[in-house]
Structure 1
Amino acid sequence: MSTPNPGAVLRGAVDLSSLRNRPQPPAEGAAPASPDAAAAPSLVFDVTDASFGQVLELSRTVPVVVDLWAEWCGPCKQLSPILEKVVMELAGRLVLAKVDVDANPQLAQAFRAQSIPLVVALVGGQPVPLFTGAVPEQQVREVFTQLLQLAAQNGVTGTVPVGEGGESPAEPGEPELPPLHAEAFAAIEAGDYPRAIAAYEKAIAENPRDADARAGLGQVRLLDRVQGVDLQEAREAAAASPRDLDAQFRVADLDLAGGHVDDAFDRLLDLFALLPADERAPVRERLLELFGLVGDADPRVIRARSRLASLLF
């Protein structure tokens, strides 16, 4: 996880030139852009390799936050609702463009998305790095405040009309979260992962079939394990002690949280192969936990399960 740091000077940290000039049809129902009112499909919307040129143009009127995520990424699922909530509260002063990196490899490459979630901003067509990894809601608010200040310094002060192009994607009457789930989400937003873990564990104790609670528990346990861990120090410790389970687990967790799924699986599978049979159980358990976070249907999980089976038999 990196420290949020909106750039004080706009500069082309990534090359977006190949995506800049693609002609795009106007968004359905959108009004023409003006210095005061920007045309956007909503405050939160999906963007693709093909439609990104329109987003770059939009950023000349209103700051655009870009959330690079993937379906298999647990920290992404924790961060995205926080980003959406804060964007909605800012009432059109900035918008959120969501990029599925698996479906949009050109954008993933352009933004150098080596780890996700990756959050950047666009101001006047120029990228501004914000942060990598899941961060608490208060930190998101602070970064967005800095972003708005930076945008104002560069003359980007437009808004998206709320209630026209800026309605919330959530439908009225959307069912509320169960109380323990709501408690867990509130704790996650506050960065209090132990409290979130306790809430999910209580939900599972009350209903062992609560699949959402089990998924949430796995994700927040991962966030709790990697919080505050220095990646370089963790790698050095793992390299110095190849058979140290805690050291290897720590790097595998960091790799998975950063989107390096194959690296995480390969590290644990190599460790599994290195250990005698009577010491392998904890490694297998951690592998199964990480498989559950990524999803059984993911090709990387299927490959890793196949290798694990070959090592077992």
Structure 2
Amino acid sequence: MTQQPFSRPGALDLSTLKQPAPARAGLDAGAPATGPAAVAATSYSVNVDEQNFQGVLESSMTAPVLLVFFSPTRMPESVTLASDLAAVAGEFEGRYLVGLVDIDAAPQIAQAMQIPSIPLVLAVVDGRPMPLLQDVLPPEELRQALESVAQQLTAQGIAGRHQPRSAAQTDGEEQVSDPRYAAADAALVSGDVDAAVAEYQKLVDANPADAEAAAGLARAKVLKRTQGADLNEARAAAAAAPDDVEAQILVADLDLLGGHVDDAFTRLINLVARTADPERSKARDHLIELFAAVGNEDPRVLVGRRNLASALF
């Protein structure tokens, strides 16, 4: 199977994120006798084998998949990269799904993808793979790389999200989606954000206590508000008018989509602190909607709520 670069119009240019690779482990390198344990899957990562490989690739039609190829025996430090990437990608609340490919356990996948050496991270969008990283990087550099990719995706209107995997789900199982959200999920996959908002709104109207539907509605609204927005232009406008609620809200929305959750919250909390009604109420209400988009049990939301209370009182 030959790797093909992204070919659709406006495809992501990820080449600038590739790191120069120092001495890397070739796939025919001799293997030491022992190595670290396999990487544990998380809410937004999955151990990939021959059985679920195709399903993981198909997930890239919803949102990007990051395939990280590592070997506990041939290059132990590549396991650290895989673990760190899974942890950092989880901070982006479903913008990425990390596919953990242990080439010792699944050599056929490495052969099919023509992986010459490790470590290697491929970004897969709409089923199309492209090299993203070729070196072991610290978490902060991984975070910067994923933030850059997220911003490019947002600018091109690619804003889908993966659903978190159940903690009880085994790696070999195919994730079962809740049928209640099928119409909304299908709308997001097709890029029809207006339809997704409408479908989530129906669910919320039918059951206001459905926290997952409320979170989906909030996220869909963020996607709708940011369609066609240019991040650099939005930041410049917000810097020029620090008390313009609409300008600040747009940047907060874009920050949220790019994984800068704390920055989005802080921007609006500071706006609440320095404005008066009706601008203050609008900023507060929008911030509460962003809390719902992230999830009310998220630690960052709990901190944000405390900071909002301090700003209000």
Q: TM-score range by the shorter chain?
A: 0.5 to 0.7
Name the count of aligned residue pairs: 236
Partner of 2:13: 5
User: In 2 relative to 1, CA 110–71 (structure 1 residues): closer, same or farther, beyond 3 Å?
Assistant: closer
Partner of 1:217: 217
The one-letter code of the counterpart of 1:135 is: I
Partner of 2:178: 177
User: In 2 relative to 1, CA 18–205 (structure 1 residues): closer, same or farther, beyond 3 Å?
Assistant: farther
**How far apart are residue 278 of structure 1 and its match?**
4.5
C-alpha contact (below 8 Å) 1:74/1:293 kept by paired residues: no
Name the TM-score, length of structure 1 as normaliser.
0.58
The one-letter code of the counterpart of 2:158 is: V
Partner of 1:239: 239
The one-letter code of the counterpart of 1:303 is: V
**How far apart are residue 294 of structure 1 and its match?**
2.6
User: In 2 relative to 1, CA 268–19 (structure 1 residues): closer, same or farther, beyond 3 Å?
Assistant: farther
CA deviation digits over 1:112-137, x for unaligned, max 9?
53554948xxxxxxxxxx96457278
Following superposition of structure 1 onto structure 2, how do residues 12-161 of structure 1 map, counting pairs within 5 Å?
13-14=18-19, 17=22, 25=35, 43=53, 44=56, 53=75, 70-74=89-93, 76=95, 80=97, 93-94=112-113, 107-111=138-142, 113=144, 115-116=146-147, 118=149, 132-133=153-154, 135=158
Fraction of identical pairs, as percent: 35
C-alpha contact (below 8 Å) 1:116/1:132 kept by paired residues: no
Following superposition of structure 1 onto structure 2, how do residues 246-285 of structure 1 map, counting pairs within 5 Å?
246-285=246-285
1:279 & 1:192 partners in 2: Cα distance?
31
5+ residue gaps, structure 1, are: 29-37, 58-65, 85-90, 100-104, 120-129, 138-166
**How far apart are residue 206 of structure 1 and its match?**
2.3
Name the TM-score, length of structure 2 as normaliser.
0.58
SS at match of 2:290: helix
C-alpha contact (below 8 Å) 1:272/1:284 kept by paired residues: yes
User: In 2 relative to 1, CA 207–27 (structure 1 residues): closer, same or farther, beyond 3 Å?
Assistant: same
5+ residue gaps, structure 2, are: 1-9, 39-47, 57-65, 80-84, 101-107, 124-135, 161-169
1:25 & 1:269 partners in 2: Cα distance?
47
C-alpha contact (below 8 Å) 2:234/2:250 kept by paired residues: yes
1:176 & 1:12 partners in 2: Cα distance?
33
C-alpha contact (below 8 Å) 1:222/1:253 kept by paired residues: yes
1:197 & 1:277 partners in 2: Cα distance?
28
**How far apart are residue 301 of structure 1 and its match?**
2.6
CA deviation digits over 1:43-86, x for unaligned, max 9?
259969995947979xxxxxxxx88864453451xx649x99xx
The one-letter code of the counterpart of 1:73 is: F
1:306 & 1:50 partners in 2: Cα distance?
43
The one-letter code of the counterpart of 1:260 is: H
SS at match of 1:259: coil
SS at match of 1:135: coil
Pick 1 or 2: higher relative contact order, CA cutoff 8 A, min separation 6: 1
User: In 2 relative to 1, CA 111–282 (structure 1 residues): closer, same or farther, beyond 3 Å?
Assistant: same
User: In 2 relative to 1, CA 111–194 (structure 1 residues): closer, same or farther, beyond 3 Å?
Assistant: same
